[in-house]
Amino acid sequence: MVWAENANPDPRLHNRLKDVGEELDVPPLKQELRSLVDWVANYTLSSRGMVLRMTLWMGDISAPSAAAGWACAW
C-alpha cells in the first residue's frame, strides 16, 4: 500500500521499499482514515500495518462477526 507520496525519499531506506506488483482499481483511503490509523498506531505503540489490517478487516464480509464471538463465550 502506498501511504503517501514523498517527493524527497530518504536514500538510506531504499532497501525497505518493495516493487509494486499491480495497481488495484479501488478508491484511495481518505486522509481522515489514514490519520486515524497513524494516531491509533502511535497511541497503542503498534505498527501502522497491523492497525491498517484491523481497519480494513472490519469491512470484510467473510470475517466473523462480533456477535458470533460473543455467542461462543456464553
pTM: 0.59
Render pLDDT for 9-31 as a digit per residue (tens, 0 to 9): 787 877 777 777 888 888 888 88
Please name which of 43, 55, 69 lies closest in space to residue 1, comparing C-alpha atoms: 55
Q: How far apart are CA 72 and CA 47, in angstroms?
A: 29
C-alpha cell recorded at residue 6: 514523498
Q: How far apart are CA 51 and CA 39, in angstroms?
A: 10
pLDDT in the model for residue 66 = 54
By percentage, how much of the chain surpasses pLDDT 70? 77
C-alpha cell recorded at residue 56: 480494513
